[in-house]
Structure 1
Amino acid sequence: MNRTRYTAIAPIVAGALALVYGGFSYVKDTHTTKIGPIELSVKERETVNVPVWASVGAIVIGGLMLVLGGRKG
C-alpha cells in the first residue's frame, strides 16, 4: 500500500473510533505541593467529547481520499 492509502485510512479509523467511543479522556496535573519530605499532587480527569458530525466527516473525507487518491488524471 502506498502513502496515499495510509493517509486515507487514518481518518477513517479515527472517525470510526470516535463514533464508537464518543470521545476521549486524559489526566491533567493541576497542583503540586512539596512540604518537606511529603509531596502532594492533585490530578483532574478531563473529557473531550467528539461531535458525531466530525466523526462522520472524517470517515467521508477518508473515503473520498481513498477513492479519488488512486486516480491519476
Structure 2
Amino acid sequence: MKTIGIILIIAGIAMFFVTGFSFTTEETVIDAGPIELSAEKEKNVNWPPYAGGASIIAGLIFLGLSKKK
C-alpha cells in the first residue's frame, strides 16, 4: 500500500507539469494494388490539471491507510 501511495503522489506531481503528450501514427489512405499512399497523423493525449490533484490525494490516502496497520 505504501509503494502504491508513493507512485500515485509522484505521478500526480508529474501530471501538474506535463499536461499531455502527442505522438504520430502512419495510416494508409489509399491501397490500390501496387500503389499505396499513406499519411502521418498526429494524435494528442491530454488530461486536466485536477487529475494530478486527485492522484496526489489518492496517494496520500494510501499512505495514511498503510501507517494505520
TM superposition score category, shorter chain reference: 0.7 to 0.9
Deviation at 1:28, TM superposition (A): 2.8
What is the TM-score of this pair, normalised by structure 1?
0.70
Aligned to 2:13: 16
TM (norm. structure 2) is 0.73
Uncovered stretches (5+) of structure 1, i.e. residues with no partner: none
Which moved further from structure 2: 43-52 or 54-63?
A: 43-52
1:21-47 deviation line (CA, Å, top 9, x unaligned): 111222233x225563x7543221111
Specify which of 59, 62, 67 is matched with residue 64 of structure 2. Answer: 67
* Fraction of identical pairs, as percent: 31
Runs of 4+ in 1 over 6 A off after TM superposition: none
Matched residue count: 67
RMSD after superposition:
2.0
Equivalent position amino acid for 1:23 in 2: G
